[in-house]
Amino acid sequence: MEPKIGEQPDEIIGYKRTGHHTVYYIPFSKEKVDEIIEKSVGSDKETILFNFSIGALGYEFPYEVFVNTSYDGLAHMLVQPGGPRLILANRQQQQQQLQQKQKQ
């Protein structure tokens, strides 16, 4: 890591990655997530935090949303006004309204 210098010579405003670093890519699928959960000890989909992050933006999605939404869909939710929390709350409200109409 190399320090990023600000306007003042002794002001460090951040760090820049330098040199070689290893990146691993794990293909994402619901089946792969379920396989990882199944092999874990003492965990299940209700106790795991499914964190999706892009840069400084991130959110802990519920299992069903995490595995049934595309990467682009999750990323889109992160940048929308109100973010994932508002979008998911609106979805839940719409589902409840639909269920109430079906009961009538």
Nearest to 57 by CA among 32, 26, 37, 85: 85
Strand 50-54, strand 12-16: pairing = unpaired
| 39 three-class SS | helix
Domain ranges of the chain: 2-103
Helix (H, G, I), strand (E, B) or coil at 73: helix
pLDDT reading at 28 higher than 90: no
Sequence-ordered strand ranges (E) for the chain:
2-5, 12-16, 50-54, 57-61
Residue bearing the bigger pLDDT, 40 or 25: 40
Average pLDDT, rounded, for the chain: 87
Tell me the pLDDT band of 21, cut-offs 50, 70 and 90: low
pLDDT, residue 69, reads 93
Residue 66 CA to residue 73 CA, distance in Å, equals 10
Whole-number Å distance between alpha carbons of 40 and 57: 27
